[in-house]
Amino acid sequence: MRVSDGTQAARELNPMDKGSRLKTESDLPHPDSTSHSATVGPLAWPWRLLLILLAGAMLTLAFPPFYLWPLALLALCPLGISALGGRLGWRWMAVYYLAGLLYFLGNSFWLIPVTFGGYFVLSMYMGVYWPILAWSLRLAGVALRWPAAVLIPIFFTSLEYLRSTLFSGFSWFMLGTALAPAVHLLQAADLFGVSGLTFLCGISAGWLVDGWMVWRGASRMGQRGWLVETILVAALFAAVWGYGSFRLGQPLTTGGPKVAVISGNVPQALKDAGGIAVDQQIFNKFFDLSRAAAKEHPNLIVWPETMVGGYLNRQWLNLSPADFSASSGRRLLRLDQRFYARLRGFAQKHHLSFLVGSAGIHYDSAGRPVQTRNIAVFITPSGPQAHPYAKHHLVPFGEYVPFAYWPWLHHLLLSLTPFGPNDDYSLTPGKKWRRFTLSAHGKKWRFGTPICYEDAMPRPAYMFTRPRYGRKGADFLISISNDGWYHSRVELQQHLQMDSVRAVEERVPIARSVNGGDSGFVGPDGRVIKLAQRRGHTEFISGFTVARLPVDLRISLFSRIGDAGVKLLVVAAALLMVISAGLALVERRRDRHKTGLV
């Protein structure tokens, strides 16, 4: 009996024996293998690959020109299932990166005519966020065992915010923007902005992922837990929908000033040709459209970004032709002075104001040009205001080339711009969020003027409209842009959709004057009021449209707190990653310790 007992004991202590209760290090549970999917086995690689491609297709279809906004609520589900359904070695990280790269290459194709190099480099950078998302979900899902309905909105919304802000940011394709056609859901943007809408999309996708995990028997939640989660998610969406109905039913708008927006169709190739003749031709075209618009007696006429060639800042206009030794400088100054004189004379004659896009140039005390800016100039019947608004957020490779303090890299990056390596046209950003005041109907209205893509991101609109002295900083926004760079209607439609979200975030109407794009008006509820049309088309047309702005009296929560909510979410996501990594490390050490005891 003693020999038999000893043999049995030896068998139990032999790690190589098949019947052993102890295992070798290779058989010990890796932190990653304790995930939900471990109990039923990982997904086969063809299914995971198909899920990743499906997510890219759904994300694409959610945005214009397809407008299939319900897919925004589902699109992250395949990514979540793929990330939580199997291990993430370096090969799968490469797959996620390639999928992200293809997604951004396919959806930002409209950048190709402007800068192919910049388009490709930007897509290469944006693709990085896909493997980071998958890795974050996998690590936290394994370590914390939290529901996907919690992890997906936290990590995806945080990464999307970082993508839209880091290195100047690229705020196109923010998932919450795709919900703009769902007007009842859109109203929640006045609480936490577009990131709040993205968070909502993440919750719905995570709920589906949790249901899939329960169905596979790969979740500790169980059917009862998922039923509770279903009730909570349904209650959340009902609350958001109810909030939207409440906001849409509030009669808190009042008649504002009457605004005419001019829509141009000036190809960028014509502007790039330059010269006095071209500048005169473009000015005359918009001036003629303004004559027609003045017949409807607007209080303000708006021209798109940079449609007045040359410079219209006060320092330049106050120069004398005698200050220039070259005849070309004298001719340019006289032309710009004539432009300004015609605009001011027209404003005085018709008792209206102009807001026009131009450029500004500034000289130092020695008479050397030191700054060039992209500006919006406000001209009233009594003359221009003292200072124009100078664009704050410059477009990388479009308005400035980064790394000027590293000459070798700066020169290399110049090759990615539309103008080539020998033309450094970098502008100087503005320093103040300058608002203008328009007098109309015995009242004074304050407005801000995001230029170009400043309306594509939440911060500029927030800086213009945040409350001051108990009232909104701006009663409305006027967006001026030159989209004549692009040959695709897709970019124009996506740009318009982002203004719908900005309008709700700040509860302000937005007037849009866009060269090549959709010029018109968006109400404070995000719905498009009116667009300039010609023969049924709203893009690539010359024309104008006039409307009285519905000024909203409400001050949104987002106008008060800005992106503070999503910044806290980023901090929470970072803490979760630290905790998850720590738990994974502890688990790995525990496994190694067990192996060492053998």
Residue 588 main-chain phi, psi, to 5 deg: -65, -40
Q: Per residue in 474-526, pLDDT tens? A: 999 999 999 988 888 999 999 999 999 999 999 999 999 999 989 999 999 99
CA dihedral sign of residues 240, 241, 243, 244: positive
Q: How far is CA 52 from CA 55, 102, 215, 275, 327, in A?
A: 5, 11, 20, 50, 62
Q: In one letter, which amino acid is 369?
A: P
Q: How far apart are CA 407 and CA 429, in angstroms?
A: 20
Query: Which range (271-275, 283-287, 581-585) has the least confidence?
Result: 271-275
* Residue 465 pLDDT level (bands cut at 50, 70, 90): very high
State residue 32's pLDDT score: 52
State residue 407's pLDDT score: 67
Q: Per residue in 227-236, pLDDT tens? A: 999 999 999 9
Q: How far apart are CA 440 and CA 41, in angstroms?
A: 70
Q: Is 189 exposed, middle or buried (0-12, 13-18, 19+ CB in 10 A)?
A: buried
> Residue 243: which residues within 8 A CB-CB, separation 6 or more?
187, 188
Q: Per residue in 18-60, pLDDT tens? A: 333 333 333 333 435 444 433 456 788 899 999 999 999 999 9
Count other C-beta atoms under 10 Å from residue 269's C-beta.
Answer: 10
Whether 8 shows a pLDDT value over 70: the answer reads no
Torsion of CA 384, 450, 433, 187, to 10 degrees: 130
State residue 167's pLDDT score: 83
The DSSP output letter for 20 is -
CATH of span 254-392+437-561: 3.60.110.10
430: nearest Cα among 451, 406, 405, 459: 451
Query: Which range (13-27, 70-84, 360-374, 386-400) has the least confidence?
Result: 13-27
Angle made by CA atoms 270, 275, 277, in degrees to the nearest 5: 85
Residue 300 main-chain phi, psi, to 5 deg: -150, 135
305: nearest Cα among 380, 253, 357, 381: 357
Pairing relationship of beta strands 369-380 and 383-384 according to DSSP bridges: antiparallel
Q: Is 362 exposed, middle or buried (0-12, 13-18, 19+ CB in 10 A)?
A: middle
6 conformational bin, left if phi > 0, alpha if psi -120 to 50, beta if neither? alpha
Give, rounded to a whole angstrom, the gap between the first and last alpha carbons of the chain: 25
Residue 390 main-chain phi, psi, to 5 deg: -105, 130
Q: What is the mean pLDDT of residues 111-125?
A: 87
State residue 31's pLDDT score: 39
Collapse the DSSP code of 148 into the 3-class scheme (helix H, G, I; strand E, B; otherwise coil) and give the result: helix
* Residue 395 pLDDT level (bands cut at 50, 70, 90): confident
Helix (H) or strand (E) holding 151: helix 148-165
Q: In one letter, which amino acid is 245?
A: S
* Residue 578 pLDDT level (bands cut at 50, 70, 90): very high
Whether 95 shows a pLDDT value over 90: the answer reads yes
Q: How far is CA 179 from CA 70, 188, 520, 527, 558, in A?
A: 8, 11, 20, 12, 17
* Residue 403 pLDDT level (bands cut at 50, 70, 90): low
HSE-CB of 522 using CA atoms within 13 angstroms:
30
State residue 27's pLDDT score: 38
Average pLDDT, the chain: 88
Structure tokens at 295: 């017949």
By percentage, how much of the chain surpasses pLDDT 90? 69
Collapse the DSSP code of 23 into the 3-class scheme (helix H, G, I; strand E, B; otherwise coil) and give the result: coil
Give this prediction's pTM.
0.89
Where does 249-311 have alpha helices with state H?
268-273, 276-294
Q: In one letter, which amino acid is 97?
A: Y
Helix (H) or strand (E) holding 9: helix 2-13
Helix (H) or strand (E) holding 11: helix 2-13
* Residue 571 pLDDT level (bands cut at 50, 70, 90): very high
Collapse the DSSP code of 491 into the 3-class scheme (helix H, G, I; strand E, B; otherwise coil) and give the result: helix
> Residue 354: which residues within 8 A CB-CB, separation 6 or more?
290, 300, 301, 302, 303, 343, 346, 347, 377, 378, 379
Q: In one letter, which amino acid is 355?
A: L
Query: What are the domain boundaries of the chain?
Result: 32-249+563-597, 254-392+437-561, 394-428
Q: How far apart are CA 359 and CA 391, in angstroms?
A: 10
HSE-CB of 123 using CA atoms within 13 angstroms:
21
Q: How far apart are CA 137 and CA 130, in angstroms?
A: 11
The DSSP output letter for 39 is G
